[in-house]
Each structure stands twice: as C-alpha cells, then as structure tokens.
Amino acid sequence: MMKFVVSSNTLLKELQVISGVLNSNNALPILDDFLFKLNKGELSIFASDLETTIKTNITVDSKDSGEITIPAKLLIEMLKSFADQPLTFIVDTTKFVIEINSESGKYKIAGHDGEEFPKMIAVEAPTKLEVDAEMLIEAVNKTIFAVANDDLRPVMSGVYCNFSAKDITFVATDAHKLVKYIRPVTGATADNAVIIAKKPMNLLKNILTSKDGKVALEYNKTNASFTIGNVQLICRLIDGKYPNYDAVIPKDNPNQLVLDRSSFLSSLKRVSILSNKTTHQVRLKITGNALTLTSEDLDYSSEANERIACQYVGDDMEIGFNSRFLLDMLMNLDCAEVRVGMSSPSRAGVITPNPQKEGEDILMLVMPVMLNN
C-alpha cells in the first residue's frame, strides 16, 4: 500500500506540462500512462514516448514509497473536473488499483505495474552547460519552422546545434529555406554539435514558457538532457552528419533591398491569396525605389499586384519566391525593417533584420522559384 495527499490543481498543472510527450497511438500500451514514483514527501512523475522522456517532481504529504502507472488521459480528465482541493491517493501496489478520495467522493482506477515502464536514460559522461531559458525559447521559435518533415533525410528533421567556446549556432533547413541563428554563450569547453528532433524541441519550448531562469543542459553523442526547476527532459539525438549549410549561403549579394517588415508582410499576405495553389509563386520586381509584388493563378483567372516603397541598391531585377516560405520568415522575425540580399534571379535570397538586434545574429535564406515569363 502507498498513500499520499496532493493538491488537485498542483498535480494537474504538472501533468499538463509533461503530457505533451504522449503519443495518440503507442507501440507499448504502458506509454499511455504516467509513471508515479513516490519517495516519502517527494513524488516524481514520468511521461515518455521512448525517444523522449519528461520527468517532474512535486512535494506531497506522505510517509510511504512505491511506484504505479496511471492512465494519463483518464487522470487528466478527472483532475480538470475538480475544484482545487486536496486529493488522497491510496494505491494497492500488488493489485495495481488506485483509489482517489476527494472532499465529496471516492473514485477507483486500474493502473499497471511501474516496473513495466521504460527506464529514463542517463546521459553518461556529458558535456555540461548553463543557458538562459529566454535564449532557448528564442532559438526554438526562430528555427523550428524551417525544419524538414523528411523521413528519408532524418538529419534535416531536427535542429542542428553547434557549440563553440563563445557561442551556440542553431540551424534548421528543409533544402528550400534555411535559418541560421547565433547567440553568444560561455561555458562550452570544446567545439561539438548535436541534432535535436523537432518534437523534443517543441516540448522544450512549451516547458520553458512556464518557467524562467537557467537551464542546465547536458549532452553526449547520443542523448541530451534539459533541466529547469523541477522539470527534466531527456531525448535521444538524431544520428548522422548535418549538411554543410555554409556552402549554400551566397556570400556576395550586391543587390540590397531594405523594407518595412510589417508592410512587406501585409502586402505579401494579400497578394499570395491569389497565387497559384501549387507553386504559391509571387514575383518581386524591383526598379529604383519601388517594389512590385505580383501573383497570378491562370486556372482561376485571378491575379494581384501591389507596389510598396523600399530602399534599394543594385541592378533592377525580377525574382520569384514561394510566398509561404517568405511569410514564414517574416512572421518569425520581430524587427522593424528587413534587408533582402540577392545576387541573381537563380540564386538564393538572404533575409536579415536591419539592423541585427544586439547579442543575436540571424540569417534566413530562401531559394527562388523559376519565373515563367
């Protein structure tokens, strides 16, 4: 038998933080459960999808120890229906039955043997680093949208993080668009890199939005661990060699276009509505200090064009882009003005904030689409 008393709201809040890792269809039925591990006054709760495990600790009123798994969906639904109050959990650890007593009633749930739950991986002989929660949220927000959903090239389905003695470089690409985001960080002793899958990156972002302070980061060649406050996330890293992203970034872009980001974004949103539904192509024609955005969909006899003022240095040019990629980039920047560097209609365009924010360096690259003149 094990017994503990916990506030319903506190428990619900912690379960909601870690429940994001749960899949709707699991290979192992036990992964539909939370693992509760009680050690006197401390309750550790685990949720896992095998690749990623999240653990949270909460203080409870108890003198007992033991473990049990409890169906996750069922427990969260029950907790949502209670007003905040102390709940008493009485667990039969031989029959795996959980009895929950509230101020007004008694409820019974069938659980499973905690021994069957996969063990949390330990990150052995790790490199350790401390980073700001705010910095990690920014890095995830600025890069995650450019990650590929490509099972054939798993290395591109994650965010590449390169650690050096003075900074961390985060890179994401799907071969059509690329984002490179650099933040100064001290504490990494050697240059090394890891690739973190999209799902743990998103989970990490959700955890960090409810916490602030320092994140203890530990990683080796196979796994990474992030700890902030009472929550720890451990994930398996993507194995493989990341493409040489620097080789695709054009270094010499003599044509430089500077625009108000929000006007460019609004224009692009309107014009893209009437673009071709397959290519989403928008044509940018720059002459002097005016930019004309044009789109058309011949199948539906629709077209749009808008002119916006800009600052431009370079030769007059016409270049086509997939409007969805441009919109993604502009929506994930928070600067007043953007600079678009171009060399020719067949080479990638490079988008950067104008100027860069102090303490961060961000570059977004978008491949052009062939214009059918």
Write out pLDDT tens, residues 79-116.
999 999 999 999 999 999 999 999 999 999 999 999 99
Into which CATH architecture does domain 2-116 fall?
Roll (3.10)
User: Position 212: which residue type?
Assistant: D
Stated pTM of the model: 0.91
Q: How confident is the model at residue 231 (pLDDT cuts 50, 70, 90)?
A: very high
Taking residues 273-290, report their average pLDDT. 94
- The predicted structure's pLDDT at residue 3: 96
Instruction: Give SS3 for 122.
Output: coil
Q: How confident is the model at residue 373 (pLDDT cuts 50, 70, 90)?
A: low
Taking residues 171-191, report their average pLDDT. 88
Superfamily of domain 127-246: DNA Polymerase III, subunit A, domain 2 (3.10.150.10)
Give the class (CATH, top level) of 250-369. Answer: alpha beta
> Percentage helix, strand, coil, to 5, in the chain?
25, 45, 35
User: Is residue 370 pLDDT above 90, yes or no?
Assistant: no
User: Is residue 372 pLDDT above 80, yes or no?
Assistant: no
User: Is residue 143 pLDDT above 70, yes or no?
Assistant: yes
Tokens of 332: 């994930």
Q: How confident is the model at residue 290 (pLDDT cuts 50, 70, 90)?
A: very high
Taking residues 268-276, report their average pLDDT. 96
Helix residue ranges, H only, the chain? 8-18, 72-80, 133-143, 198-209, 261-273, 323-331
Helix residue ranges, H only, 274-347? 323-331
User: Is residue 247 pLDDT above 90, yes or no?
Assistant: yes
Are the C-beta atoms of residues 273 and 259 closer than 8 Å to each other? no
The span from the CA of 290 to the CA of 267, in Å, is 13
Instruction: Give SS3 for 326.
Output: helix
Query: What is the percent of the chain where pLDDT is above 90?
Result: 88
Tell me the pLDDT of the chain averaged across its residues: 94
Q: How confident is the model at residue 331 (pLDDT cuts 50, 70, 90)?
A: very high
Taking residues 221-229, report their average pLDDT. 95
> pLDDT, tens digit, for every residue of 337-358?
999 999 999 999 999 999 999 9
Instruction: Tell me the CB-side half-sphere exposure of residue 147, using CA atoms within 13 A.
Output: 25
Domain with CATH 3.10.150.10 in the chain: 2-116, 127-246, 250-369
More confident residue, 187 or 331: 331
Which among 313, 312, 250, 302 has a CA at the least distance from the CA of 276?
302
Taking residues 201-217, report their average pLDDT. 91
Are the C-beta atoms of residues 198 and 159 closer than 8 Å to each other? yes
Taking residues 226-251, report their average pLDDT. 95
Taking residues 303-331, report their average pLDDT. 95
Sheet holding 2-7, edge to edge: 2-7, 86-92, 97-101, 106-110
Q: How confident is the model at residue 371 (pLDDT cuts 50, 70, 90)?
A: confident
- The predicted structure's pLDDT at residue 123: 92
- The predicted structure's pLDDT at residue 32: 96
- The predicted structure's pLDDT at residue 27: 83
> pLDDT, tens digit, for every residue of 41-73?
999 999 999 999 999 999 999 999 999 999 999
User: Is residue 189 pLDDT above 80, yes or no?
Assistant: no
User: Is residue 128 pLDDT above 70, yes or no?
Assistant: yes
Taking residues 23-37, report their average pLDDT. 93
